[in-house]
């Protein structure tokens, strides 16, 4: 993988073949080592997902041959998508709600502590408002989607989903 992938924003990615690719009978070199494959991925990962779908669009060989590929990226077992590090954004999703709840608890503590004094301060509205703010903050941040990161330099696999026609590119001659 030549370009890193982040599922926050849709984008293009590129990888380079690390070995030569031969025909099914192993006799004809089809794609040279160093050929580039260009693909695209969509933004967004749902809760619980740990893979991002990449559609590899085309291949360009070092000699300038370009072929349409339109095939998915897979793992070593052929499962669709590429895995990577998934950041669930726990701090962003729950941090502000926890902080606001903590502020509410501190307010409650001081409100209860001041009940024994003749100078009473009413914290009821403040405490209720803090709880409402915590609820709003949690509602706003609970829907932050996780982000998958796939590092540059990692190995990936492409499942060639259809026959590729090399007739317009290569000519085979019978050997005598």
Q: Any idea what DSSP says for residue 118?
A: S
63 and 19 both lie in a single domain? yes
| pTM confidence score | 0.72
Look up the domain containing 125 and give its range.
Answer: 90-141
Q: What is the pLDDT of residue 38?
A: 98
Strand 54-60, strand 29-31: pairing? unpaired
Distance, in Å, from the CA atom of 105 to the CA atom of 136, rounded to the nearest integer, reads 17
Integer angstrom CA distances of residue 94 from 7, 9, 13, 27, 110 = 21, 23, 32, 58, 24
Is there a domain that residue 13 lies in? yes
78 and 154 both lie in a single domain? yes
Is residue 99 scored above 90 in pLDDT?
no
100 and 48 both lie in a single domain? no
Number of folded domains that form the chain: 2
The residue whose two tokens read 């030569």 is 20
User: pLDDT tens across 12-51, in order?
Assistant: 999 999 999 998 899 888 999 999 999 999 998 988 899 9
101 and 137 both lie in a single domain? yes
């Amino acid at each position: 993988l030549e370009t890193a992938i982040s599922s926050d924003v849709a984008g293009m990615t590129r990888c380079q073949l690390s070995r030569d690719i031969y025909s099914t009978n192993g006799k004809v070199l089809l794609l040279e080592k160093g050929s580039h494959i260009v693909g695209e991925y969509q933004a967004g990962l749902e809760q619980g997902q740990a893979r991002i779908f990449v559609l590899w669009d085309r291949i360009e060989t070092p000699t300038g041959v370009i072929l349409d590929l339109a095939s998915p990226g897979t793992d070593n077992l052929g499962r669709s998508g590429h895995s990577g590090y998934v950041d669930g954004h726990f701090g962003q999703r729950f941090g502000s709600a926890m902080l606001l709840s903590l502020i509410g608890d501190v307010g409650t503590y001081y409100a209860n502590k001041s009940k024994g004094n003749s100078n009473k301060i009413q914290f009821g509205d403040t405490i209720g408002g803090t709880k409402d703010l915590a609820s709003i903050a949690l509602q706003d941040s609970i829907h932050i989607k996780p982000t998958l990161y796939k590092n540059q330099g990692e190995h990936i696999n492409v499942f060639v989903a259809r026959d590729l026609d090399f007739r317009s590119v290569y000519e085979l001659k019978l050997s005598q």
